[in-house]
Amino acid sequence: MDDTDRAIINRLQESFPITDRPYLQAARELGIEEDELIRRLQSMLESKLLSRFGPMYHAERLGGGLSLCAMRVPQHEFERVNEQVNVFPEVAHNYARDHEFNMWFVLATETPERIGSVIREIEQLTGCRVYNMPKEEEFFVGLKLEV
């Protein structure tokens, strides 16, 4: 990753033009050629620096359900429970964290109602309680990570 890649990441985390030649427009702002921008994006996607290049959706406005869930899993059962949880396609990401509440995952479902049923299925399968912590209010943030 060089300075041009960093400039691309910083600029295109803010927005991407919705015009007939969006790469050309963005490339001009960055002072590079259109095909260079496309090539660099391709390469950063292939090397997994970027997760995606496209829309970031607002799940609830799409009619879907989204929630953060936490579990307190005894250390010696962590691996088993973790494997069981990750099998669910609705589990979008899952992180271990250093706290008594040690497993944190995001559920993304096609409907809001499905959140509750997936939680019950996970509880039945794992034998552990799932603490459902859906967002109640969102405070504005930039959704951007400077590199």
Partner 1 sequence: MVLSERDNHLIAEIQDGLPLSSRPYREIGRRLGLSELQVIERISALQDGGVIKRMGIVVRHHELGYTANAMVVWDVPDDQVDSVGEKLGSQPCVTLCYQRPRKLPEWPYNLFCMIHGRERERVLEHIDSIVASQGLEQLPRKILFSGKRFKQRGAKYR
Per CB under 8 A, contacts with partner 1 among 48-77 are 48-59, 61-64, 66, 68, 70, 72
Query: In sequence order, which residues have a C-beta less than 8 Å from that of residue 144 and are 6 or more positions away?
Result: 10, 13, 14
| Nearest Cα to Cα of residue 39 among 53, 20, 60 | 53
| Residue from 2, 89, 113, 124 in contact with partner 1 (CB under 8 A) | 89
Q: Note whether 139 binds partner 1 by CB under 8 A.
A: yes
The nearest distance, CB 136 to partner 1, in angstroms, is: 5
Element (H, E) at 71: strand 65-71
Q: Note whether 121 binds partner 1 by CB under 8 A.
A: no
Binding-residue total with partner 1 (CB under 8 A): 77
Q: Which is nearer to partner 1, 51 or 124 (CB)?
A: 51
Cα distance between residue 117 and residue 81, in whole Å: 18
Token pair for 62: 């799409």
